[in-house]
Structure 1
Amino acid sequence: MIYPVVAFGDPVLKVRARDLPADFSADELKQLVADMYDTMYYAHGVGLAAPQIGKSVRLFVIDSAPMIDEEDENGEPAQLEATAQPVKRAFINPQIIHEEGEKWGFEEGCLSIPGVREMVYRQPVVTLRYEDENRQPHEETFSGMTARVIQHEYDHLEGVLFTDKISAFKKQFIKGKLARISKGDVKADYRMKFPLVKQR
């Protein structure tokens, strides 16, 4: 099932998501993860967090393969070798343990905010504790573009959008565009759900 992507302005994007309970049905979880991948690929995304499909639970999926090429083209932090491997994975109840390295900038976008890209600075290495879709625990370190995708999606679970991380001047500059997005006045080649538009 392909879900509509929740647009900027919906309250679900601004609240901290709750943990996925231990007794959540394994079959339902596998279906939800599969649906999130389908939705992400349909929208040509590299990551998707559950709040973006209207579900306020701590779950996101990523496939950083398309971003690895961009990393090679645009350069990466000097302390990292250009040997990054793409990661396709579901992260359940993730917790960032540690971030390190000198912050580096990259123009980020978001499926919930189509047509807007802004420079966001993030640390290049992140260590995460999480469960996979079989509810097995892991602690793992990621770097480069994969780390950036993870940090972006993790922010969604905290109720934070990439536009919250830009300067006040930039926020003012895109304020009108964000307002139009919430009203459905935007072009996207995937289904969206707009907070200020009545759903049929």
Structure 2
Amino acid sequence: MVRPILAYGAPGLRQPTREVSRDTPGLQQLINDMWQTLDNAGGVGLAAPQIGQALRMFLVDNREAVYHIRKVFINASIVEYSSTVCTEEEGCLSIPGFAVPVTRPDSITIRYQDEIFQTMTATFHGMAARIIQHEYDHVEGILYLDRLPSLSRTLLRRKLQEISRGRFRPSYPMQFPLRS
């Protein structure tokens, strides 16, 4: 089932998340719903908080890359960041309609559980590392806008208010926190 994605300004995007266990009710259905939601929106990543679930889980599908990954990350923890960084345009399904340059480490090493709860440790580079960091931020209650200089955030304020009021409607279902 495709679920609505929370828009910028929704409190659920900033709430603390809790660990996922094998006993989390409806976990497999939630994973299936998240994949359907991500595919429907045409995104490359989706975190559980973006659909109102305060869980430490996210999906990544960088289908455009040479090294294609389509993975579920549960209870992830980034254990190492590279010292080299790269600045690239970044967008977000919860903040539709624009992308801004964000600087992030080029590579990361992350420890996580897959959907059958096998613990894995892997290193990712380039676009995969960027997407994973973006989604990991979501489970930490951080938005990519938080990584911008304060002047940049100030300049975006009006556009962000329009998004939170539902004045920008993407092609996928969204839940808006404010009414016009």
User: Same fold by TM-score, threshold 0.5 exceeded?
Assistant: yes
SS at match of 2:80: strand
1:13 aligns with 2:23: no
How far apart are the structure 2 equivalents of 1:36 and 1:197? 26
Task: Give the partner amino acid of 1:24.
Answer: T
Structure with greater strand percent: 2
Aligned counterpart, 1:79: none
CA RMSD of aligned residues (A): 1.3
After TM superposition, list the pairs within 5 Å mapping 1:91-170 onto structure 2.
91-170=73-152
Contact 1:58 1:94 in 2 (8 A): yes
Contact 1:2 1:36 in 2 (8 A): yes
Q: CA deviation at 1:109?
A: 0.3
Q: CA deviation at 1:22?
A: 4.2
Task: Give the partner amino acid of 2:38.
Answer: M
Q: CA deviation at 1:196?
A: 1.2
- Please identify runs of 4+ aligned residues in structure 1 that moved more than 3 A: none
1:53 aligns with 2:35: no
SS at match of 1:104: strand
How far apart are the structure 1 equivalents of 2:174 and 2:24? 27
**Structure 1 unmatched ranges of 5 or more:** 69-83
Task: Give the partner amino acid of 2:142.
Answer: V
Aligned counterpart, 1:3: 3
How far apart are the structure 2 equivalents of 1:14 and 1:178? 15
Alignment TM-score, normalising by the size of structure 2: 0.96
Q: CA deviation at 1:184?
A: 0.7
Contact 1:29 1:133 in 2 (8 A): no
Q: CA deviation at 1:168?
A: 1.3
Q: Deviations over 1:87-107 (max 9, x none)?
A: 100000001110113110000
Q: CA deviation at 1:121?
A: 0.5
Task: Give the partner amino acid of 1:132.
Answer: D
How far apart are the structure 1 equivalents of 2:61 and 2:22? 25
SS at match of 1:85: coil
SS at match of 2:130: helix
SS at match of 1:93: strand
Aligned counterpart, 1:174: 156
Aligned counterpart, 2:32: 34
Contact 1:12 1:51 in 2 (8 A): yes
Aligned counterpart, 1:71: none
Identity of aligned residues (%): 42
Contact 1:40 1:47 in 2 (8 A): yes
Aligned counterpart, 1:80: none
Q: CA deviation at 1:197?
A: 3.5
SS at match of 1:114: strand
Query: Across the two proteins, how many residue pairs are aligned to each other?
Result: 180
SS at match of 1:116: strand
Looking at CA atoms only, which structure, 1 or 2, has the larger radius of gyration? 1
How far apart are the structure 2 equivalents of 1:197 and 1:6? 14
How far apart are the structure 2 equivalents of 1:98 and 1:195? 35
Task: Give the partner amino acid of 2:159.
Answer: K
Q: Which moved more, 1:46-55 or 1:167-176?
A: 167-176
Task: Give the partner amino acid of 1:88.
Answer: R
Aligned counterpart, 1:81: none
**Structure 2 unmatched ranges of 5 or more:** none
